Amino acid sequence: MTTITITPERPDTYRAITGDKESTGRTAGEALDALTSQLTNDESGTLVIVQNRKPDRFFNVKQQARLRELMQQREAGALSPEESAELD
């Protein structure tokens, strides 16, 4: 089964990621559709996780802030190897 994670990046942009594939869209569904078009038949069974970015007992405010920072650095092409591993 392929796991796809969808995260909001800005109020009008979502990013869908699985393995080495990713896509963006104006909605979570648009990002998902763009990503699923890249998947092979073997990857067609999917589990989708949509993060709502609200703090909870598993992912607190500080961790969410760090995620946003790492995502912005990745978008700018400025992630170090260590930061890339942390983001993964």
Together in a domain, 44 and 77 = no
Radius of gyration of the chain (CA): 13
pLDDT of residue 34: 94
Q: Is 30 helix (H, G, I), strand (E, B) or coil?
A: helix
Together in a domain, 48 and 74 = no
Tokens of 85: 């591993």
The number of folded domains in the chain is 2
pLDDT of residue 53: 66
pLDDT of residue 45: 72
**pLDDT digit string (tens) for 20-74?**
899 999 998 999 999 988 988 887 776 666 666 678 888 888 988 898 899 889 8
pLDDT of residue 10: 81
Separation of alpha carbons 53 and 55, rounded Å: 6
Together in a domain, 17 and 45 = yes
pLDDT of residue 54: 78
Together in a domain, 12 and 41 = yes
Separation of alpha carbons 35 and 53, rounded Å: 21
Of 78, 80, 81, 67, residue with least CA distance to 17: 67
pLDDT of residue 4: 85
Q: Tell how far CA 10 is from the center of its chain.
A: 12
Q: Which domain holds residue 6?
A: 1-52
